Amino acid sequence: MTYLIIRLATLGNVAMTVPVVASLSRRYPDDRFIIASKKNLGAMFSGMPNVDFREVDNHLDWKGVWALWKALREETDAVIDLQATLRTRVLGTLMRISGKRVTRVHYGRLRKHLITVWGIGKAPLPSEFERYENAFRRAGLETDETFTALPVNKAAEKVIRARYGTKEGKWIGLAPFAKSKSNMLPYRVTKDLIEILSKNEQTHVFLFGAGEIECEMLRQWASVFPRTESVAGQLKLEEELELMRLLDVMICMDSANQHLSSLVGLRAISVWCATHPIIGFKGWKQNPADIIQRHDLRCRPCTYHGTNHCRYGNFACREIEAETIIERI
Give the tens place of pLDDT for each residue, 122-151: 678 889 999 999 999 999 999 999 999 999
* 25-83 residue pLDDT tens: 999 999 999 999 988 899 999 999 999 999 987 678 888 899 899 999 999 999 999 99
Residue pair 133/143 in contact (Cβ under 8 Å)? The answer is yes
pLDDT score of 123: 73
pLDDT tens per residue, range 290-317? 999 998 888 888 888 899 999 899 999 9
Q: What is the DSSP string of 30-62?
A: TSEEEEEEETT-GGGGTT-TTEEEEEE-TT--H
**Which residue blocks in the chain are alpha helix, DSSP H?**
11-27, 62-72, 86-97, 128-138, 154-164, 187-198, 212-224, 237-246, 256-263, 322-328
Whole-number Å distance between alpha carbons of 98 and 277: 40
pLDDT at 193: 97
Q: Please report the pLDDT score of residue 125 as a whole number.
A: 84
Q: Specify the pairing of strand 249-253 against strand 32-38.
A: unpaired
pTM, to two decimals = 0.94
Partners of 269 in beta bridges: 251
Sheet with strand 291-293: strands edge to edge = 228-230, 203-207, 170-175, 249-253, 268-272, 291-293
Give the pLDDT confidence of 149-200 residue by residue, as tens digits. 999 999 999 999 999 999 999 999 999 999 899 999 999 999 999 999 999 9
Q: Is the peptide bond before 301 cis (omega within 30 degrees of 0)?
A: yes
Residue 126 DSSP class: P
pLDDT tens, position by position, 260-293: 999 999 999 999 999 999 889 999 999 999 999 9
3-state secondary structure of 207: strand
What average pLDDT score do residues 251-268 get? 97
* pLDDT at residue 266, rounded to an integer: 98
- The answer to whether 252 and 175 are in contact (CB under 8 A) is yes
Cis peptide preceding 10, ω within 30 of 0: yes
Inter-axis angle of helices 154-164 and 237-246, nearest 10? 70
Question: What's the rounded Cα separation, in Å, for the pair 263 and 285?
Answer: 10
The residue type of 109 is R
Alpha-carbon distance 255 to 183, whole Å? 8
pLDDT the model gives residue 329 = 94
Distances in Å between the Cα of 67 and the Cα atoms of 57, 75, 126, 254 are: 11, 14, 34, 34
Domains by residue range for the chain, with CATH: 2-138 (3.40.50.2000), 154-328 (3.40.50.2000)
Q: Do the beta carbons of residue 15 and residue 263 sit within 8 Å?
A: yes
Scanning 106-211, the segments in alpha helix (DSSP H) are: 128-138, 154-164, 187-198
Cβ–Cβ under 8 Å, residues 35 and 65: no
Q: How many CB atoms lie within 10 A of CB 261?
A: 29
What is the Cα gyration radius of the chain? 20
Q: What is the model's pLDDT at position 44?
A: 96
For 102-127, what is each residue's pLDDT tens digit?
999 998 655 565 666 555 556 788 89
Bridge partners of 78, per DSSP, are 3, 101
Q: What is the pLDDT of residue 299?
A: 86
pLDDT, position 5? 98
For the stretch 273-310, what's the b/e string if a residue is b when 16 or more beta carbons lie within 10 angstroms of its beta carbon?
Answer: bbbbbbbbbbbbebeeebbbbbeebebbbbbbbbbeeb
